[in-house]
Structure 1
């Protein structure tokens, strides 16, 4: 076991507890990086101004730097610091917070779902992207294609992808960019979400390409993180079938799932300048693996952290990050997951007959059902 393999292990949480017991911020000799596992260390690293989301010498992964996926990656607010992060965020975040939950419910309800494993896969991965696409003004047919292209594009975000997958990611980025060029030129677009984002982006330089890149980024963030949230909620129900017979509060279920077994287990920070963090001296170029899921199980953050409690007072979680890079779409993701899970359960799927494995990933915990 190591902190990266742990993300897709059947039960990584005892191992995370072992790491926290070692001090919360330690150097892993095998991986040649630092590991932040305690709530205190994770919070400190995420808030530190010298801990960046990309290494200074490699703002875009070399494997994709020369293609369209790399051009999109370069402009994503989640992969930048300073004005390149703050400006897109200030343009996109306010609109996401104002989306009407009833609009999300209606869009999810309009999609046909089947209660088998294939139907669950589409509901988890394709459905959330279709909802966001519809909110931006795309037609249902366009939204379906966009969800498939997003599935191809996210391959550029992981070093596990092979060359054919990276080639598909470049092609998908090109096509997604084309869809947005057409959407932004459509005088009949009635999306209030897109109108607000465009208006706020208009105050920034090079708004056109940055706008398109970050809208593609909105799709990619929706794709995997929301799929994992829905999937891990289904696993909680499989492991606790008695809840299916109760009038379970899905908001409470999802809130505890994203704390107890989050879809994003870890993230990385790259030290940009020599500094001291939580009593440890770091040099420029050091890498810190930030174990968000471990911090969620720290007793300094939550009482009885290893108990799954639907009704939990003062629940705290790092699942959506913290500080300047906290996910701006948390409310949107939770609302889409709620509506999707409610529709899945209304079909009364035979959850007890499902088997699953975790999608190969270095940081995600996303079940694939069969």
Structure 2
């Protein structure tokens, strides 16, 4: 592998992209003509883009990807908090935040640990088994807390994976068709769950916003947990392969995520001419916000950026860390061959996620 990533979109799967990121962070802004992108790499540049109302999560005039227009996936996508720029964004954020805040971290961790323990009891704790655990556990834990029966969680995680593949920019027709079927199936299963516990809390929070917004954002939470949650869990395993570390401490997770992030970038679309952190941007420009570079910026405050900043920051940091801690607790009970896992590790996953794979190295 080259000593330097080919470009910013290839950096997350590079063996060591951090010297490259550090150089970009020191420059602040860069233009990648080959990819047609501005790179916001310093902490100041990244923060300015994430805070600016001129920089949107979707292109102007295309709130839903054209390939998903007219599908249930498209309808769900357009209602997700993560993709909303409309006035409903603030009420959506308040409702989602209220729902996520109500569950204690300890309860989430216990549920994740129990699910991981049972998942691993039926599989070897080798590379393939741990890849499967990373793919399964984040969405399965949230779904279990919502009331999905345990017998259906493996299938649910596979359907969430199909939805993720369908929404990707490079999805083909077969993947989009599979994603549409998965979306319909997940929505139908959601309607059969008992209106109790955590799901009842979601329903109360979304009472004014309506059933469509509720269903979309419940599925959106499962969708968002999948790749980022798998990357976080796999990172924790990789760090354990290198030696014991205090995975029980959230502050230690954040320290490690600053030096070795999981989510490396996010994209923004410029809706109007604007100057941010000394760089003039034009309507129609695309900006790749290099969260991994911004975290390393010597001029920045020295903080992890994996969960974003500003109005589109991910509200699920506490839940994601609790799930990862639960997985590592279950793994410590088993005591896998950490050294062998370390030797088999490769980086392969979505362009924005530093995804470790310990088995065949292929993403599901």
Match of residue 312 from structure 1: none
The residue aligned with 1:162 is 172
Once the two structures are superposed, the pairs formed by residues 13-162 of structure 1 within 5 Å of their partners are 13-22=18-27, 24-111=28-115, 112=118, 113=120, 114-162=124-172
Q: Secondary structure at the match of 2:8?
A: coil
Q: How does 1:287-298 map to 2 (within 5 A)?
A: 287-298=286-297
Aligned counterparts, 1:1-370, within 5 A: 1-22=6-27, 24-111=28-115, 112=118, 113=120, 114-183=124-193, 186=194, 189-191=195-197, 193-204=198-209, 207-238=210-241, 240-241=242-243, 243=244, 249-302=248-301, 316-354=303-341, 355-370=344-359
Alignment TM-score, normalising by the size of structure 2 = 0.90
3-state SS, counterpart of residue 284 of structure 1: coil
CA distance in structure 2 between the partners assigned to 1:13 and 1:75 by the alignment = 35
**C-alpha separation in 2, matches of 1:176 and 1:259:** 35
Asked whether the 8 Å contact 1:68–1:171 carries over to 2, the reply is no
Distance 1:248 1:229, change over 3 A: closer
Moved more, 351-360 or 36-45: 351-360
Give the drift of 1:94: 1.5
Tell which deviates more after alignment, 89-98 or 167-176. 89-98
The SS at the match of 1:202 is: coil
Deviations 1:264-297 (A, max 9, x none): 1100111111111112222111111000011111
Secondary structure of the residue that 2:30 maps to in structure 1?
strand
Q: Please give the secondary structure, in 2, of the residue aligned with 1:289.
A: strand
- Per the normalisation by structure 1, the TM-score is 0.88
In structure 1, how many angstroms separate the alpha carbons of the residues matched to 2:42 and 2:346? 27
State the Cα distance separating 1:329 from its structure 2 match.
0.7
Runs of at least 4 residues off by over 6 Å: none
Per-residue CA deviations over 1:115-157 (Å, capped at 9, x if unaligned) read: 2223212321211211101111221123332212111111123
Cα RMSD, aligned residues only: 1.8
User: What is the deviation of 1:63?
Assistant: 2.2
SS in 2 for 1:63: helix
Distance in 1, matches of 2:186 and 2:234, equals 26
* Unaligned ranges ≥5, structure 1: 304-315
